[in-house]
A and B are shown apart, each in its own frame.
Chain A
Amino acid sequence: MSTLNAAIVGLGMTEMGKVYGRTATQFAVEAVGKAASDAGLGVADLDGLLVNCGLGRQVGMPLAADLGLRDLSVLSEIQSFGASAGVMVMQAAAAIAAGQATAVACVFADVPLTEGKRTGAAYADPKFRLRPGFLGIPPAGGLLGPNVGYALAARRHMDAYGTTSEQLGHVAVSTRKWAELNPAAQMRAPMTIDDHQSSRYIVDPLHLLDCCLVSNGAIAVIVTSGERARELAQPPVYLHGGAQSHPGYIDERDSEFGLVTGAKKSGERAMRMAGVRPEQIGVREIYDCYTYTTLVTLEDYGFCEKGEGGPLAESGALAPGGSLPTNTGGGQLSGYYMWGMTPLSEAVIQARGQGGERQVADHDYVLVSGNGGILAHHSTLILSPHPKEA
């Protein structure tokens, strides 16, 4: 695994949130341009492009033409749902190591929000969900969209380990405290546990403030070799480890669904590749589609014992000033929802030391998680401002 020799050198973020009147492709073009420029490159310097579309599936390989790129040596659409950002970076690193490309843009873009339609409709529209046959049966009975699936997962964790709604609330409150320090975050008003507890249920046991935002926009990163990275405009963010795990739960008795996620094996592999232990990681950027997801992922990565995620959150460890700074930009709960690009973008900012008011002093190792489907797909990256020793 000493062949891992890649770094993130550019980060481009568009305006995100309730931004209307632009297509996913237009957002993606802007994000890639900003990322290249951030790196000190031109778009024409890119020879690789990996594209991850969101739910709307409105951006793909034709993006290359929109960017004016006429001779890419690497071009693919990547789809691992919320794990895609990490997967794209790993694919880019592999292409670079194989000599197939030298500068690869990885971009996510989505426009799930439509002006005048409720946010909740974006991910639970029956038109998208009611397929014929077996796939249509749960939605036909009302089990529409990811909120229901994650509520069922969270309930299992609560039953098995005694995790409480208030403990989930501590995840929301800690994350909001970080968002208050991030000018790019969408939700920056202070939040209390009472606010969390009195927010309406979306799907019991998940309150409104247990659920992530939904945003229009795009984020891109540029990946190059470690050597090239040192000649570019930004402090390089080196890839020390990367791994995936796709648990493939069998839906039957004794399933670990809701209790143990892909973070367990993905995290073990990524940390082994990087040669680090959980206690060496200074910053955690966890895919937080729900408060519960943060909590169970931290457990699976070994930042606490299994089942102790609730007390860990309650202790304040995840918040600014705590012992385990987590989701330092406000995550998807309070920051912005760009699938796995949310944790990845904040990880790049932290690893570079550009977090301003919210910068974590110990950022030698930054962990990034991605989680997709209903806990079906997981990716982990370990990033560092220091080159990886061969």
Chain B
Amino acid sequence: MSAKDMLPIDRDDASAAWFDAAADGRLLIRKCPAGHVSAPHTTTCPRCGSTTLQWIEAAGTGVLASYAVINRRDADPLPVAIVELDEGPWMRMQLQDVDPASLATNDPVEVRFAAPEGGEPIPYAVPRAAG
């Protein structure tokens, strides 16, 4: 919902399509011809080495594979996590709208995007009702 705890970054050629989709609220991940799904940053399938990866749209839902809370000097504690997408890949991102004191591994979350001033959209996760 908020980009106040984010820093702006630029796109590069490899990430241009991904950021375009993110601007529409869609989370893209990679898929190789053999059907292996991998995280957005991969350029070679980590399972089979294929370099002809296509973008597919992820459901945008997942669970916390791990979490941590950054203790900041001049601001509220910032919760972050490894989100395990339903499709399998992990993404590391900020958590929002959570109580940092009551996080637990396997908490269900969904991925959203916010764009800090002057930068591309950055993913973050919010709680999702289980089920």
By a beta-carbon cutoff of 8 Å, the part of chain A in contact with chain B is 126, 130-143, 147-148, 151-153, 155-156, 159, 200-206, 250-253, 255, 258
Instruction: Please judge, given known A-B contacts A153-B66, A156-B65, A156-B66, whether A143 and B14 are in contact too, CB under 8 Å.
Output: no
Residue in contact with B67 in the complex, picked from A126, A138, A152, CB distance below 8 Å: A152
Q: In chain B, residues 43-57, which have Cβ atoms closer than 8 Å to a Cβ of chain A?
A: 46-47
Judge whether B58 is part of the interface by a CB distance below 8 angstroms: no
Instruction: Please judge, given known A-B contacts A133-B15, A141-B124, A155-B105, whether A200 and B92 are in contact too, CB under 8 Å.
Output: no
Residue in contact with A253 in the complex, picked from B5, B18, B71, B88, CB distance below 8 Å: B88
Contact (Cβ within 8 A) B123 A141: yes
How far apart are the CA atoms of A148 and B94 in the complex, in Å? Answer: 11
Instruction: Please judge, given known A-B contacts A134-B15, A151-B68, A203-B68, whether A252 and B9 are in contact too, CB under 8 Å.
Output: no
How far apart are the CA atoms of A123 and B116 in the complex, in Å? Answer: 23
Contact (Cβ within 8 A) B15 A204: no
How far apart are the CA atoms of A158 and B44 in the complex, in Å? Answer: 32
Residue in contact with A142 in the complex, picked from B14, B39, B80, CB distance below 8 Å: B80
Q: What residues of chain B lie closer than 8 Å to A251, measured between beta carbons?
A: 39, 82, 89-91
Q: Mark B83-113, 1 if CB is under 8 A from A, else 0.
A: 0100011111110000010000100000000
Judge whether B61 is part of the interface by a CB distance below 8 angstroms: no
Contact (Cβ within 8 A) A255 B80: no
Contact (Cβ within 8 A) B105 A133: no
How far apart are the CA atoms of A268 and B113 in the complex, in Å? Answer: 44
Contact (Cβ within 8 A) B80 A143: yes
Judge whether B23 is part of the interface by a CB distance below 8 angstroms: no
How far apart are the CA atoms of A139 and B36 in the complex, in Å? Answer: 27
How far apart are the CA atoms of A155 and B69 in the complex, in Å? Answer: 11
Closest CB in chain B relative to A139 CB, distance in Å: 7
Q: What residues of chain B lie closer than 8 Å to A156, measured between beta carbons?
A: 65-66, 105
How far apart are the CA atoms of A152 and B10 in the complex, in Å? Answer: 26
Q: What residues of chain A lie closer than 8 Å to B122, measured between beta carbons?
A: 137, 140-141
Closest A-chain residue to B18, C-beta based? A134
Closest CB in chain A relative to B52 CB, distance in Å: 18
Contact (Cβ within 8 A) B80 A258: no
How far apart are the CA atoms of A204 and B77 in the complex, in Å? Answer: 9
Instruction: Please judge, given known A-B contacts A132-B15, A252-B39, whether A155 and B9 are in contact too, CB under 8 Å.
Output: no
Known: A133-B14, A255-B90. 11 other contacts (CB 8 A): A132-B9, A133-B10, A137-B9, A141-B6, A152-B66, A152-B81, A152-B92, A204-B77, A251-B90, A252-B90, A253-B65
Q: What residues of chain A lie closer than 8 Å to B39, measured between beta carbons?
A: 251-252
Residue in contact with B9 in the complex, picked from A136, A203, A206, CB distance below 8 Å: A136
Q: What residues of chain B lie closer than 8 Å to A258, measured between beta carbons?
A: 66
Contact (Cβ within 8 A) B82 A152: yes
How far apart are the CA atoms of A126 and B89 in the complex, in Å? Answer: 26
Q: What residues of chain A lie closer than 8 Å to B41, measured between beta carbons?
A: 133-135, 137
How far apart are the CA atoms of A156 and B84 in the complex, in Å? Answer: 13
Closest CB in chain B relative to A129 CB, distance in Å: 9
Q: List 26 A-B contacts (CB under 8 A).
A: A130-B9, A131-B9, A134-B14, A134-B41, A137-B93, A137-B122, A140-B119, A142-B6, A143-B92, A148-B68, A151-B68, A152-B68, A152-B80, A152-B82, A156-B65, A203-B69, A203-B70, A204-B68, A204-B77, A250-B38, A251-B39, A252-B39, A252-B84, A253-B88, A253-B90, A258-B66
Q: What residues of chain B lie closer than 8 Å to A202, measured between beta carbons?
A: 71
How far apart are the CA atoms of A202 and B20 in the complex, in Å? Answer: 35
Q: What residues of chain B lie closer than 8 Å to A142, measured between beta carbons?
A: 5-6, 70, 78, 80, 94
Q: What residues of chain B lie closer than 8 Å to A126, measured between beta carbons?
A: 7
Closest CB in chain B relative to A350 CB, distance in Å: 34
Closest CB in chain B relative to A390 CB, distance in Å: 41
Q: What residues of chain A lie closer than 8 Å to B84, measured between beta carbons?
A: 252-253
Judge whether B8 is part of the interface by a CB distance below 8 angstroms: yes
Q: What residues of chain B lie closer than 8 Å to A135, measured between beta carbons?
A: 41
Judge whether B24 is part of the interface by a CB distance below 8 angstroms: no
Residue in contact with B10 in the complex, picked from A132, A141, A205, A250, CB distance below 8 Å: A132
How far apart are the CA atoms of A202 and B82 in the complex, in Å? Answer: 18
Contact (Cβ within 8 A) A204 B69: yes
Q: What residues of chain A lie closer than 8 Å to B8, measured between beta carbons?
A: 140
Residue in contact with B70 in the complex, picked from A131, A134, A148, CB distance below 8 Å: A148
Closest A-chain residue to B106, C-beta based? A159
Closest CB in chain B relative to A231 CB, distance in Å: 50
Contact (Cβ within 8 A) A138 B92: yes
Contact (Cβ within 8 A) B68 A200: no
Q: What residues of chain B lie closer than 8 Å to A133, measured between beta carbons?
A: 9-12, 14-15, 41
Q: What residues of chain A lie closer than 8 Å to B14, measured between beta carbons?
A: 133-134
